[in-house]
């Protein structure tokens, strides 16, 4: 009630059992004390309410007197990281396979950012050998800041460049990952006066990429150099065909 007179009239005529937090037991207790309306209840001293009512009833009394006890639910906190990490279906021994895995992980992480309207300002790239198969242990990892972006191609370039600097030959890798950090709202980020890429072109390209993949299934359109089926991701080889989300899984019928 915004109008004070209307509020007073309502409080004077409304039975106490019609407000939230006053159950049958509390109503009977208050009625025995001659308290029948919301107006009567609101006029009670806080000390008396604490003796008579539960915590819920005390909050209701405070709210009726203009003291907020039930704040509005806050918006969900913004996520701060997006991680895409995978164990390989088989050990990776070539730079070409590792490069493709890092590119695929970076592309997927970028897509997750865009789905939440976020851009990344830092990145972690890592890969390591198997910890239990007897191979020499090696864990390569780089963490670095980047220009704020959710562009798949920009993040792929960063991930591959970092991966190349850590690559060791004659080493078999079991897992790799790309983690995007310090995420910010894309709409709140100020425009760079001297960007290294055209932000408008990037946004249009990513919007078109996402529109196709949302309609026809993830992976329908992919950045170049990322195959739909890869030898390093064969853990999913026994998965049932996804007829409703992948055109490539549809059965072909010949007349």
**Over the stretch 166-178, which tens digit does the pLDDT of each residue have?**
999 999 999 999 9
**Is 212 among the domain residues?**
yes
90 and 209 housed in the same domain: yes
Q: Do both 30 and 127 map to the same domain?
A: no
One domain, residues 206 and 91: yes
DSSP single-letter state for residue 190: P
Residues 34 and 135 in one domain: no
Residue 1: pLDDT band with limits 50, 70, 90: very low
Axis crossing angle, helix 199-216 with helix 95-115, rounded to the nearest 10:
90
In a domain, 185, yes or no: yes
Q: Do 117 and 145 fall into the same domain?
A: yes
Residue 75 located in a structural domain: no
Which CATH number is 19's domain given?
A: 1.10.150
| Residue that terminates a domain, selected from 35, 64, 93 | 64
C-alpha angle 184-185-187 in degrees, rounded to nearest 5: 140
Q: Confirm whether 57 is domain-assigned.
A: yes
Same domain for 40 and 103, yes or no, is no
Task: Please tell me whether residues 125 and 226 are part of one structural domain.
Answer: yes
Residue at 73 is within a domain: no
Q: What percent of the chain has pLDDT over 70?
A: 78
Distances (CA, A) of 142 to 30, 96, 105, 237, 241: 67, 19, 15, 31, 37
With pLDDT > 90 as the criterion, what percentage of the chain qualifies?
A: 40
Choose between 253 and 89: higher pLDDT.
89
Return the pLDDT at 201. 81
Same-domain status, 116 and 220: yes
Note the pTM of the prediction, 2 decimals.
0.59
Question: How many domains, in total, are found in the chain?
Answer: 2
**Residue pointed to by tokens 């309306």:** 37
Range of the domain at 29: 4-64
Choose one of 13, 37, 64: the last residue of a domain. Answer: 64
């Amino acid at each position: 009630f915004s109008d004070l007179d209307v509020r007073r009239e309502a409080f004077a005529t409304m039975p106490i059992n019609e407000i939230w937090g006053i159950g049958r037991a509390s109503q009977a207790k208050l009625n025995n004390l001659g308290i029948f309306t919301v107006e009567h209840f609101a006029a009670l001293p806080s000390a008396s309410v604490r003796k008579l009512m539960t915590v819920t009833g005390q909050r209701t009394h405070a709210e009726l007197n203009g003291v907020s006890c039930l704040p509005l639910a806050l918006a969900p906190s913004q996520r701060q990281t997006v991680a895409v990490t995978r164990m390989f279906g088989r050990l990776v021994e070539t730079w070409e396979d590792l490069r493709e895995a890092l590119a695929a992980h970076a592309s997927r992480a970028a897509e997750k950012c865009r789905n939440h309207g976020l851009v990344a300002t830092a990145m972690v790239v890592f890969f390591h050998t198997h910890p239990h198969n007897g191979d020499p242990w090696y864990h390569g990892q780089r963490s670095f800041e980047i220009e704020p972006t959710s562009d798949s191609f920009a993040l792929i370039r960063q991930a591959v460049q970092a991966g190349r600097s850590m690559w060791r030959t004659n080493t078999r890798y079991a897992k790799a990952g790309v983690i995007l950090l310090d995420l910010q709202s894309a709409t709140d980020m100020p425009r760079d006066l001297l960007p290294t890429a055209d932000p408008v072109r990037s946004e249009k390209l990513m919007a078109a990429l996402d529109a196709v993949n949302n309609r026809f299934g993830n992976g329908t359109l992919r950045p170049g150099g990322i195959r739909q089926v890869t030898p390093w991701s064969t853990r999913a080889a026994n998965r049932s065909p996804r007829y409703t989300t992948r055109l490539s899984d549809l059965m072909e019928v010949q007349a």
